[in-house]
């Protein structure tokens, strides 16, 4: 009896495997046919769409050519919309509306299938129609984070005042969308990001800083938003070290002028991250007054201060290179190693190289950098 | 079931106990695989959708995409190293460096790199956060500012990776093997979880696929194909099952205990915090993740370790039994090491799901599993020989276990078909089916023997075994 049970079990399992394989085969055939048909129809439709965008074909002709290939038509429209601006864009959106694609997309926003809602939200972003902002805002309450994220992204792409407002509002609700995702979206908004960033930073410039504000400061630097320079300057006086650091970094990226005294003071800060960032900023801004501070920075106990100081000195031409060469002769191993490495990177092709070699020879020193094998200072 | 002969009374009782144990084990193992596949299938749809909607260009532009150091340990890799490094230098990623770690190669690995990339020695200063074997020289390329080659004393892969961590300048690093081929956008896909969870994400693993017989040019897989040899083919099915089912399931259960050393991305500060890679184990990839889980839980630190099937790398797998045997014995020893060094986590509720689910799974079904399987086969055969058990029952039971395994292989092929669909040619289905067959009727059993052998060697004190894997090189378009 048990043997019969085993035989029965083997049969069932084997039958199951065969059935699964049949499903795979059918899926393969279906996919293959679909891809073939898609490729053929695409070849037929692309020229029609191109003529339509150029004004050489009417909507009716387009309608006729598309027929029942609505999915393909939408794919082609979205593909063009990603790059096209101006009249062509308007024509394409009209065609999408005429073919019922926009209506279908808005219907898909309420689908039970989250992937359809997600794709619909993505399509609305590509269409970029300000009138769909409210529909996207509703999706910010969707139970799936993927859908909320896509909806927020599409709002960022549309970038209308209403869309921007909605994005800034959800910053206060991390359960809707976490901060990194919101900031990612703000970043893709480009020039329109100024207002949301200003609001993010508006809470306080001296008090404790939220993660949102810190990331927003980074973004200000990435976007090189010059209008935020006064706000960033104010932040340099904050008691929050992290805020000072980020503000300094952002100012360096923007290449904004810095008060020399303030920067010198930061270069002597007790926190090594601030000293390191100040060293970098001195190099980025080319502040001559800071050169001697950079020389001191070569002997700093913190590895990154030494490294940033050495890199910054490279940007000061002959003066900086001479200081690095002097550091190579220093008794301070840290300074020596760092200077050697940085000079090696420029292969001795520094300003006044020939002249320096002459001077170095006159002083009885070896010209050119010394190669140290695998030094591990720090 | 048994021949009804009670004359060997004691042996009958032993047989009944043993058979009950094996049946119970078999049922539990089947249930575990069903759970894996259910979770895997349920979530693969999510990843497949993600591939459709993700905007990689936006990831390229955002400053939230942090720079990454690619660590490539290399020991006697003269055959592949040039193509690998060239391909790595053209990845679609905004900011990264490639650090090749020449671990005392005795062939021309370093010379080839020097010639091809115009390397010059540099006194690169770095912080020695983890102690390692001696670094003999650091070279930078005149042509590629983001390529660094470190020449060091031979110390093994773990030591090489620790050197790479010391020398790297970026907050994240990605480990790979020298013969691994990354897809161009693999790093972008790997960094995504770190962007979404900037404070908590500490490690992410990706998928490793079999590159044997794929057409490879300049370090890129240009055409996906299936190997013809049964050894490599069985491994295709095995890798698919592992990466598309069990690892996805582990990720959904937040019990990721293994990220492949061929392709994983880590937060550098966390790895340094836990002391880097252990150099006294040959399963350094798994040991690191297990230890990471242990240490971070001890500190009650909020963290995530994730696996995503979206980013892909390709690797050459052994095609001969000798090389494969060495590799599998090494993996088994590495697994035993990982469990032994972190045994306090086993069944310990302090470690949450890791301690109560993840670690026990690896102990019972991965480490001991092959032993139980072989013992099961041996038991039924022995009892059939001595007449306690009928031959018919024995054969049927053995057949049932293999057919059930074959069912899971077909399920794996189905998952692949409905998700990433990489094997597109009509004949590939037939080849994969054959691969599923050989995997269950022969490959798995041989693998179990190797793993038992490795466990016995381990217990007998022979822990370390790297050995060499014979490499044949990738198929190129010219040789097509």
Instruction: Compute the nearest-CA separation of A6 from chain B (Å).
Output: 6
Instruction: Compute the nearest-CA separation of B86 from chain A (Å).
Output: 22
A116 shares contact with chain B (CB less than 8 Å): no
Instruction: Give domain status of residue A152, yes or no.
Output: yes
Query: Are A6 and B397 an interchain contact pair (Cβ–Cβ within 8 Å)?
Result: yes
Which among A7, A11, A24, A327 is the top mutation candidate for probing chain B, defined by the most B β-carbons within 10 Å of its own β-carbon? A24
Considering only CB atoms, which chain B residues are within 8 Å of A144? none
pLDDT digits (tens, 9 = 90+) for A206-255: 445 576 678 788 888 878 888 888 888 888 888 888 888 889 888 888 88
Query: Which of A136, A155, A188 is the last residue in one of the domains?
Result: A188
Considering only CB atoms, which chain A residues are within 8 Å of B392? 3
pTM for the model:
0.86
CA distance B369 to B449: 11
Residue-number span of the structural domain to which A81 is assigned? 40-99
Instruction: Give domain status of residue A281, yes or no.
Output: no
A71 and A120 fall within a common domain: no
A121 and A181 fall within a common domain: yes
Query: Which of A165, A188, A211 is the last residue in one of the domains?
Result: A188
CA distance A293 to A214: 28
Instruction: Give domain status of residue A129, yes or no.
Output: yes
Nearest residue of A to residue B65, measured between CA atoms? A184
List A residues 139-178 in contact with B (Cβ-Cβ < 8 A).
146, 150, 153, 178
CA distance A312 to A277: 11
Instruction: Give domain status of residue A143, yes or no.
Output: yes
Instruction: Give domain status of residue A79, yes or no.
Output: yes
Q: Token digits for A260?
A: 């020399």
List A residues 355-374 in contact with B (Cβ-Cβ < 8 A).
369-374
Neighbours of B373 (CB within 10 A): 23
Query: Which of A159, A188, A217 is the last residue in one of the domains?
Result: A188
Query: Could you list the pLDDT tens digit for every one of the 480 residues in chain B?
Result: 444 454 556 777 777 788 788 888 888 999 999 998 898 888 888 888 887 777 777 777 777 788 999 999 999 999 889 988 998 999 999 999 999 999 999 999 999 999 999 999 988 888 899 999 999 999 999 899 999 999 999 999 999 999 999 999 999 999 999 888 999 999 999 998 998 888 899 999 999 999 999 998 877 888 999 998 999 999 999 999 999 889 999 999 999 999 998 899 999 999 999 999 999 988 899 999 999 999 999 999 999 999 988 888 999 899 999 999 999 999 999 999 999 999 999 999 999 999 999 999 999 999 999 889 888 888 888 888 887 777 787 788 888 888 999 999 999 999 899 888 899 888 999 999 999 999 999 999 999 999 999 998 998 876 555 555 555 566 665 554
Total number of residues shown for chain A: 378
Instruction: Compute the nearest-CA separation of B388 from chain A (Å).
Output: 15
A120 and A84 fall within a common domain: no
Query: Are B53 and A7 an interchain contact pair (Cβ–Cβ within 8 Å)?
Result: no
Instruction: Give domain status of residue A16, yes or no.
Output: no
Considering only CB atoms, which chain A residues are within 8 Å of B396? 3, 6-7, 10
A65 and A133 fall within a common domain: no
Q: Which of A25, A338, A370 lies nearest to residue B125, judging by beta carbons?
A: A338
Query: Are B137 and A150 an interchain contact pair (Cβ–Cβ within 8 Å)?
Result: no
Nearest residue of A to residue B124, measured between CA atoms? A341
Number of domains comprising chain A: 2
Neighbours of B476 (CB within 10 A): 13
Instruction: Give domain status of residue A146, yes or no.
Output: yes
Query: Are A374 and B421 an interchain contact pair (Cβ–Cβ within 8 Å)?
Result: no
Contacts 24+ apart (CB under 8 A), A213-218: A213/A243, A214/A242, A214/A243, A214/A246, A215/A179, A215/A180, A215/A183, A216/A183, A216/A186, A217/A243, A217/A246, A217/A247, A217/A250, A218/A246, A218/A249, A218/A250, A218/B63
Query: Are A2 and B393 an interchain contact pair (Cβ–Cβ within 8 Å)?
Result: yes
Instruction: Give domain status of residue A159, yes or no.
Output: yes
CATH of the domain at A158: 1.25.10.10
CA distance B234 to B328: 14
Nearest to A237 by CA among A205, A260, A261: A205
Q: Which of A27, A115, A303 lies nearest to residue B417, judging by beta carbons?
A: A27
A85 and A150 fall within a common domain: no
């Amino acid at each position: 009896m048990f043997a019969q049970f085993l035989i029965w079990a083997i049969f069932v399992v084997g039958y199951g495997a065969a059935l699964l394989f049949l499903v795979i085969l059918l899926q393969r055939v279906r996919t293959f046919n679909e891809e073939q048909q898609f490729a053929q129809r695409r070849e037929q439709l692309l020229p029609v769409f191109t003529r339509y965008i150029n004004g050489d074909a009417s909507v009716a002709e387009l309608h006729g050519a598309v027929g029942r290939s609505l999915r393909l038509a939408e794919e082609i429209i979205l593909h063009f919309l990603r790059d096209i601006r101006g009249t062509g864009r308007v024509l394409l959106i009209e065609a999408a509306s005429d073919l019922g694609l926009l209506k279908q997309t808005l219907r898909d926003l309420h689908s039970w299938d989250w992937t359809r809602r997600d794709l619909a939200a993505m399509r609305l972003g590509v269409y970029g129609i300000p009138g769909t902002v409210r529909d996207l805002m509703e999706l910010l309450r969707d139970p799936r984070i993927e859908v909320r994220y896509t909806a927020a992204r599409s709002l960022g792409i549309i970038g209308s005042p209403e869309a921007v407002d909605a994005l800034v509002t959800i910053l206060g609700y991390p359960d809707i969308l976490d901060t990194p995702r919101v900031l990612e979206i703000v970043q893709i908004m480009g020039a329109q990001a100024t207002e949301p960033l200003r609001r993010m930073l508006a809470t306080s410039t001296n008090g404790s800083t939220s993660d949102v504000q810190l990331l927003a400061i980074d973004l200000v630097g990435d976007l090189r938003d010059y209008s935020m320079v006064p706000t960033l300057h104010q932040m340099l006086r904050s008691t929050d070290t992290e805020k000072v650091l980020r503000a300094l970094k952002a100012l360096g990226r923007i290449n904004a002028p810095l008060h020399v005294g303030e920067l010198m003071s930061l270069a002597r800060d007790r926190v090594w991250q601030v000293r390191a960032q100040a060293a970098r900023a001195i190099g980025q801004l080319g502040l001559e007054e800071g050169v001697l501070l950079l020389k001191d920075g070569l002997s700093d106990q913190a590895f990154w201060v030494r490294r940033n100081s050495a890199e910054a000195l490279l940007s000061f031409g002959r003066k900086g290179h001479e200081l690095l060469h002097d550091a190579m002769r220093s008794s301070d191993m840290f300074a020596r190693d760092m200077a050697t490495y940085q000079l090696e990177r420029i292969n001795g092709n520094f300003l006044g190289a020939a002249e320096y070699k002459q001077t170095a020879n006159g002083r009885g020193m070896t010209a050119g950098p010394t190669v140290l094998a695998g030094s591990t200072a720090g | 079931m048994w021949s009804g002969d009670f004359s060997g009374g004691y042996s009958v009782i032993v047989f009944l106990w043993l058979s009950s144990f094996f049946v119970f084990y078999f049922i539990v193992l089947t249930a575990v695989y069903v759970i894996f596949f259910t979770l895997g299938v349920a979530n693969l749809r999510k990843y497949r959708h993600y591939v459709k909607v993700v905007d990689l260009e936006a990831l390229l532009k955002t400053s939230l995409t942090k720079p990454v150091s690619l660590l490539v340990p290399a020991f006697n890799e003269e055959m592949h190293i040039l193509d690998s490094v060239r391909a790595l230098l053209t990845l679609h990623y905004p900011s990264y460096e490639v650090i090749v770690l020449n671990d005392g190669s005795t062939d021309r690995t370093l010379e080839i790199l020097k010639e091809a990339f115009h390397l010059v020695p540099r006194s690169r200063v770095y912080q020695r956060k983890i102690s390692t074997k001696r670094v003999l020289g650091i070279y930078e390329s005149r042509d590629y500012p983001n390529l660094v080659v470190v020449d060091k004393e031979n110390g093994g892969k773990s030591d090489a990776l620790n050197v790479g961590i010391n020398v790297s300048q970026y907050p994240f690093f990605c480990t790979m093997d020298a013969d691994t081929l990354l897809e161009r956008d693999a790093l972008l896909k790997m960094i995504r979880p770190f962007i979404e969870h900037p404070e908590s994400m500490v490690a992410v693993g990706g998928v490793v696929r079999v590159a044997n017989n794929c057409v490879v040019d300049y370090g890129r897989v240009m055409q996906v194909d299936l190997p013809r040899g049964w050894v490599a083919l069985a491994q295709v099915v095995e890798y698919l099952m592992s990466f598309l089912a069990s690892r996805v399931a582990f990720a959904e259960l937040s019990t990721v205990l293994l990220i492949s050393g061929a392709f994983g991305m880590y937060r550098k500060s966390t790895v340094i915090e836990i002391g880097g890679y252990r150099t006294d184990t040959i399963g350094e990839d798994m040991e690191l993740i297990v230890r990471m889980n242990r240490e971070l839980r001890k500190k009650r630190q909020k963290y995530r370790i994730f696996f995503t099937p979206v980013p892909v790398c390709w690797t050459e797998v052994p095609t001969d039994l000798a090389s494969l045997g060495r590799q599998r014995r090494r993996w088994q020893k590495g697994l035993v090491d990982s469990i032994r060094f972190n045994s306090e986590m086993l069944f310990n509720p302090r470690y949450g799901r890791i301690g109560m689910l993840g670690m026990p799974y690896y102990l019972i079904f991965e480490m001991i599993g092959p032993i139980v399987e072989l013992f099961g086969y041996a038991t039924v055969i022995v009892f059939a020989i001595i007449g306690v058990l009928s031959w018919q029952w024995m054969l049927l039971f053995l057949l049932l276990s293999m057919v059930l395994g074959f069912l899971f292989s077909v399920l794996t092929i189905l998952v692949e078909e409905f998700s990433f669909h990489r094997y597109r040619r009509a004949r590939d289905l037939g080849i994969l089916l054959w691969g599923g067959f050989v995997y269950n009727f022969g490959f798995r059993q041989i693998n179990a023997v190797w793993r038992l052998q490795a466990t016995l060697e381990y217990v007998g004190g022979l822990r370390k075994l790297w050995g060499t894997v014979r490499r044949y090189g990738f198929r190129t378009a010219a040789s097509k």
